[in-house]
Structure 1
Amino acid sequence: MKSIHSSYDALIIGFGKGGKTLAAYLANQGWTVALVEQSPLMYGGTCINIACIPTKFLIHNGELGKPYPESIQEKDQLTAALRQRNFNMVDQSPNATVITGKASFVSPHQVSVRLIDTDEEIVIEAERIFINTGAKPIIPVIPGIEQSQRVFTSTTLIDQQQLPSELVIIGGGYIALEFATMYAQYGATVTILDRSAHFLPNEDRDMADAVLATLVAKGIRIELGVSVDEIIPGEGQQDTVLFRSQEGNQQSIQTSAILVATGRHPYTEGLNVAAAGVELDVKGYIRVNERLQTNVPHIWAIGDVNGGPQFTYISLDDYRIIRSQLFNSKPYTLLDRNLVAFSLFTSPPFSHVGLREEEALAKGYRINVATLPAASITRAQLLKEPAGLLKCIVDADTDQILGCTLFCADSHELINLVQLAMRARFDYTVLRDTIYTHPTMSEGLNDLFARVS
């Protein structure tokens, strides 16, 4: 490790996407930069180590039919290589130093760091400080959950070397559905216990129903509107999960693994932001303005910890916001951010950008709506992935695309094309009439938007 100084131009706490990119950029501008990360297993941040990259890799290997233990080993090799590459990206800069230890504010400009290798405590002073500590899984209060040896989070489950024969997932959000898809592909018997009475409650019913039908067809059991009463640790290889249906009837299910996927909350544990005078909101997120500044002007918050959408590409965009205000005369701010797309990596993936049908109607738009079964796209048939549904929402008065939801093969790629068209304010006819290569999934946009009337 490089020598640690007492004073830096910039201190970044946390090795997430926005933080590491900012560290490398500032160092290349000649700033002295310290990046503090509490764990050597998290160099590079959540995405490459315990979230986006390893989970999508495992989903892809499952689709290819590879064995689970082999896939876990390959996943570990991939994340280790990416972790080292990300460490080098920052630490090999002549102006940047990676410090491994636990950070805690002692004043607005000073942070103490307990070094992981020596347990020594040092104090670092910086002119500007950027908090990039991310979020962590919420563990619900359920009787027996702390006594069970078979309860996992999304982080710990993908570290298991052996496939659980049965998996119960508590929660019905995006993480729950991705893990359900993944483990069902590897051969586990999967049950989702979702407290919501409606599957994917924020989506239009036709799209949510299409996803539900596809997951059920894969053998995934989905119980809606249920509450989990208790987890009873078993003597052998299984625990018992007691849950109550919407009607109030108690049922039980035995399982060899339980995934808790009930959401995430900001990670500020031990950071002592109060010593810096930094304010939190009612949910514990660091409160920021449109420039991602906290109430203390020389301290910013980047990524999941500031309460924005919890995607790695949002953390990267947070970096752009901070970079622009430090170096540009016309800063880019949160007020300029719009049309953020997302993808849920079920199989096939589910992707969305803009307004849903119900949202557009609630806002008073006159709309034209078109849908297209994925099976009608030649490429989907060629890939043997005919499941799914495509949907677009168009402003009837302006022909502008208001929103699009794609549940089909390669939707995670297609949605970026639709997002680009929306940002450029193209009429829907541009996507309808573009000449796409053949045979591709993007050709489906010809047919989808041709159905707008």
Structure 2
Amino acid sequence: MKKVKNIIIGFGKGGKTLAKFLAKKGEQVVVVEKSNQMYGGTCINIACLPSKRLIIESENGMEFSQAVNGKNEMTAFLRDKNYHMLADEKTVTVLDGQASFINNHQVKVKTENGVEEFEADRIFINTGALPIILPIPGLKESKYMLDSTQAMDQTQLPDNLTVIGAGYIGLEFAAMFARFGSKVTVLDHNQEFLGREDDDISQAVKKDLEDLGIKFELGVDIEKVADNSNGAEIFFTKDGQRVQISADRILSATGRRPNTQDLGLKNTDIATDECGFIKVNDELQTSVDNVWAIGDVKGGLQFTYISLDDFRIIKSQLFGNGQYKLSSRKNIPYSVFINPALSRVGLNEKQAKNQNIDYVVKKLPVAAIPKARVAKDTRGLFKALVDPKSDQILGATLYGIESYELINQVSLAISQKIPASVLRDQIYTHPTMSEAFNDLFA
């Protein structure tokens, strides 16, 4: 049994940043990663960066297999860079193996060379999340079923793709494959499309995706999936009618679950919720002293920038004044990388009405923005909610080109309590999408 200062289980964004920081403090760190294909975590290997790379290549008209090869070269480069970022530190040991708890403060790591056991002063769980496969008869067993990771590793473009799930991930993949040339059908149990968004926004998104050739079947109950020699048959009911469609690939995009099944949590007092996510307090501490959970494995928003911010909380607790906590985190922006992108921060009209919050809504069609004309893409709508008394921005939904950049400016204005009039009167370069704020907040 080796005694160490810190063990970090998982090489994700929060964990690797923490490991680098602890190393710079001269502390001993053991980082355990189950797969040597996951150095750097989910984002750079199987999620954000490779998917966005493929999305951009689809918009650029690149052939699918060539785009996949380019994506693989990029992830290999980043994976190697991330490995050496930690492995080259004198006080960091990177172990390839499966970590599992012996008890609250002891961990064993099964490697190809045997089993090593550690007792640590601090343990950080950063194992991320895995795709959920719904218990639809025949789906998991189908040789034509793909999860989001497998979908990006296909060497041949599917001719006929069915996506199960009309959430943000499902829509990103649906749009990407449609642009590469696949015939895409999206199935979803919910009758309402993008129910979290305002109706005018969701309707605009749906129309643009349908114009891309995507077919939506909403309010469906999938009964089963059956393979045949050419692909799979998907059987579902809609409006009381039984429907059968064919696909040569099925993409399951129905959420993610915590990656904890092999951690041996049953040997500890670490508590989880009903979905299996590790419970944490305001300082990201688990129910066991000196054991923390960071990133997707603790539940909540599953973004790499949230995992990075988890590191900031840990840093504040261990080496700062302890004032930065989970409850300090507010108004988190997000973007959906369909084309054009959909980005949001803070409240929309649905939420404001439900919470009886007084607001003034500001709207600007993207067609009214000169840069959109220059870029030859005038699709979309910008919306913002403003408090009529304080002039504070309550939230914004931006559906249009470059919204993934603009939303960060709005998020900064909200967090720093910058009035809408300041964004309205700011001098922006021209022609840019950001100068739309002159008119949006007018």
Q: Check the 8 A contact 2:161/2:182 in 1, yes or no.
A: yes
2:37 is matched with 41
Q: Secondary structure at the match of 2:395?
A: strand
**Paired AA for residue 372 in structure 2:** A
Alignment of 1:112-123 (within 5 A): 112-115=108-111, 117-118=112-113, 120-123=114-117
Structure 2 distance, partners of 1:93, 1:36, is: 15
Structure 1 distance, partners of 2:98, 2:47, is: 21
1:377 is matched with 369
Structure 2 distance, partners of 1:344, 1:365, is: 26
User: How far is 1:18 from its partner?
Assistant: 0.1
Q: Secondary structure at the match of 1:147?
A: coil
2:132 is matched with 138
* Pairing partner for 2:178 from 179, 184, 188: 184
Structure 1 distance, partners of 2:387, 2:205, is: 26
Q: Check the 8 A contact 2:43/2:49 in 1, yes or no.
A: yes
Residues 1:58 and 2:45 are matched in the alignment: no
Residues 1:421 and 2:413 are matched in the alignment: yes
Identity %: 48
Structure 2 distance, partners of 1:274, 1:331, is: 32
* Pairing partner for 2:236 from 239, 243, 267: 243
Structure 2 distance, partners of 1:363, 1:215, is: 31
User: How far is 1:224 from its partner?
Assistant: 0.9
Structure 1 distance, partners of 2:358, 2:140, is: 52
Deviations 1:114-161 (A, max 9, x none): 10x33x111111110000011101111111113321000001111111
* Pairing partner for 2:251 from 259, 267, 277: 259
User: How far is 1:308 from its partner?
Assistant: 2.1
Q: Secondary structure at the match of 2:69?
A: helix
Deviation beyond 6 Å, 4+ runs, structure 1: none
Q: How many residues are matched?
A: 442
Structure 2 distance, partners of 1:69, 1:375, is: 35
Alignment of 1:253-332 (within 5 A): 253-332=245-324
User: How far is 1:370 from its partner?
Assistant: 1.5
**Paired AA for residue 49 in structure 1:** N
User: How far is 1:385 from its partner?
Assistant: 1.6
Residues 1:89 and 2:85 are matched in the alignment: yes
What is the TM-score of this pair, normalised by structure 2? 0.99
User: How far is 1:402 from its partner?
Assistant: 0.2
* Pairing partner for 2:207 from 205, 208, 213: 213
Which consecutive residues of structure 1, in runs of 5 or more, have no partner in the other structure?
A: none
User: How far is 1:427 from its partner?
Assistant: 1.2
Q: Check the 8 A contact 1:147/1:233 in 2, yes or no.
A: no
Alignment of 1:168-179 (within 5 A): 168-179=162-173
Structure 2 distance, partners of 1:146, 1:297, is: 38
Structure 2 distance, partners of 1:75, 1:403, is: 34
Q: Secondary structure at the match of 1:66?
A: coil
* Pairing partner for 1:228 from 209, 222, 226: 222
Q: Check the 8 A contact 2:285/2:291 in 1, yes or no.
A: yes
**Paired AA for residue 276 in structure 1:** T
Question: After the TM superposition, which of the residue ranges 276-285 and 404-413 deviates more from structure 2?
Answer: 276-285
Which consecutive residues of structure 2, in runs of 5 or more, have no partner in the other structure?
A: none
2:3 is matched with 7
Structure 2 distance, partners of 1:22, 1:80, is: 22
Q: Secondary structure at the match of 1:69?
A: helix
**Paired AA for residue 298 in structure 2:** N
Structure 2 distance, partners of 1:274, 1:235, is: 43
User: How far is 1:45 from its partner?
Assistant: 0.3
Deviations 1:21-73 (A, max 9, x none): 00110011011000000000000000000000000000001111111100000
User: How far is 1:7 from its partner?
Assistant: 2.1
* Pairing partner for 1:18 from 14, 17, 22: 14
**Paired AA for residue 309 in structure 2:** D
User: How far is 1:234 from its partner?
Assistant: 1.1
Residues 1:411 and 2:399 are matched in the alignment: no
User: How far is 1:97 from its partner?
Assistant: 0.7
* Pairing partner for 2:391 from 394, 399, 409: 399
1:346 is matched with 338
1:202 is matched with 196
Deviations 1:198-241 (A, max 9, x none): 000111111111111111111110111111111110112x2111
Q: Secondary structure at the match of 1:442?
A: coil
Deviations 1:319-376 (A, max 9, x none): 0000110001243101111110000000011000001112112222221101111111
2:151 is matched with 157
User: How far is 1:433 from its partner?
Assistant: 1.0
Structure 1 distance, partners of 2:376, 2:213, is: 18
Q: Check the 8 A contact 1:239/1:255 in 2, yes or no.
A: yes
**Paired AA for residue 78 in structure 2:** L
* Pairing partner for 2:69 from 56, 65, 73: 73
User: How far is 1:447 from its partner?
Assistant: 1.3
1:103 is matched with 99
**Paired AA for residue 298 in structure 1:** N
2:427 is matched with 435
Q: Check the 8 A contact 2:188/2:218 in 1, yes or no.
A: yes
Q: Secondary structure at the match of 2:37?
A: helix
Q: What CA RMSD, in Å, does the superposition of the two structures yield over aligned residues?
A: 1.0
Q: Check the 8 A contact 2:133/2:140 in 1, yes or no.
A: no
What is the TM-score of this pair, normalised by structure 1? 0.96
Structure 1 distance, partners of 2:67, 2:83, is: 24
Q: Secondary structure at the match of 1:441?
A: coil
Q: Secondary structure at the match of 2:335?
A: strand
Q: Check the 8 A contact 2:13/2:40 in 1, yes or no.
A: yes
1:362 is matched with 354
Structure 1 distance, partners of 2:4, 2:431, is: 54
Deviations 1:65-93 (A, max 9, x none): 11110000000000000000000111111
Q: Check the 8 A contact 1:394/1:428 in 2, yes or no.
A: yes
